[in-house]
Amino acid sequence: MSDDDADAAEQGDASDALMADEALVETIHARGHENVTAEHASTFEVTTDDWLTPAGDCILAVDADRAPRDFSQAFREACRSADATITATITATLTVEGGDRTHEETITGRGDPGLALVDDRSLVGRTSDYTDDERTIVVDADKAAADLDRDLVAALADGADCTLRLEVSGDSR
């Protein structure tokens, strides 16, 4: 093998390693609602429903444009690894006179082989390890709705645009 061939092979190996470590991302767009309270102590939820009652104390946003069933197969498979780290970044942008107010919060948890990820209506993050639900997207989350910054929650209660960015990384494939 020539030196040029050896260099090319090393570059190919480096690029394969980079691909193996790349995170998979799914992005969901939704909006806040006047009934958002984010008081639930063990879950957070985003729903495709366009309504919310005061009883939905874990729901952060409504009218989501996607649900777990819409996620790529590669993303769903990566989430099913117990070694996967799943990061949910919630961004709320409220347009007010004089400019936008943006609030952001990050929640980190893990994947699990028991995640079904096939619900077509809502997605739920849990601080527990409960997976017997088609909606669960992350377990052992470090925060639930009640733990979120109250300025973020207030913006969502004022109807802010919401983006939920889900990233799965780690030894997940």
**Mean pLDDT of the 13-23 span:** 41
Per-residue pLDDT at 139 exceeds 60? yes
State yes or no: pLDDT of 160 exceeds 50. yes
The pLDDT confidence band at residue 20, using thresholds 50, 70 and 90, is very low
Q: Is residue 12 part of a domain?
A: no
pTM: 0.85
Tell how strand 99-110 and strand 59-61 pair up.
unpaired
DSSP bridge partners of 51:
none
pLDDT band of 18, cuts 50, 70, 90: very low
Tell me what percent of the residues of the chain surpass a pLDDT of 70.
86
Angstrom distance (rounded) from CA 66 to CA 71: 8
In a domain, 13, yes or no: no
Q: Is the pLDDT of residue 21 over 90?
A: no
Question: Average pLDDT of 144-150?
Answer: 98
155 by DSSP, 3-state: which?
helix
Domain assignment present for residue 6? The answer is no
What value does the mean pLDDT take over residues 78-96?
Answer: 96
Q: Phi then psi for 104, rounded to 5 degrees?
A: -140, 145
CATH assignment of the domain containing 165: 2.60.120.630
**Contact assessment for residue 101 and residue 153, using Cβ atoms and an 8 Å cutoff:** no
Tokens of 110: 């893990």
Q: Assign 3-state DSSP to the chain and report helix, strand, coil percentages, each to 5.
A: 25, 35, 40
Asked if residue 7 is part of any domain, the answer here is: no
Residue 1 within any structural domain of the chain: no
Question: What pLDDT score does 13 carry?
Answer: 31
What's the count of helices (H) and strands (E) in the chain, helices before strands? 3, 8
11 falls in which pLDDT band (50, 70, 90)? Answer: very low
Average pLDDT, the chain: 89
Burial class (CB in 10 A: 0-12, 13-18, 19+), 4: exposed
Give the number of domains in the chain.
1
Within a domain: 15:
no
> pLDDT by residue (tens digit) across 89-113?
999 999 888 889 999 999 999 999 9
The span from the CA of 163 to the CA of 143, in Å, is 17
Q: How far apart are CA 14 and CA 2, in angstroms?
A: 19
Is the residue at 121 inside a domain?
A: yes
Residue 74 scores a pLDDT above 70? yes
Structural domain of residue 108, as residue ranges?
24-170
Does residue 8 lie within any of the structural domains? no
8 has pLDDT over 90: no
- List, in order, residues 6 or more apart from 111 with CB less than 8 Å away: 78, 79, 80, 81, 82, 83, 84, 85, 86, 138, 139, 168, 172
| Average pLDDT of span 27-53 | 98
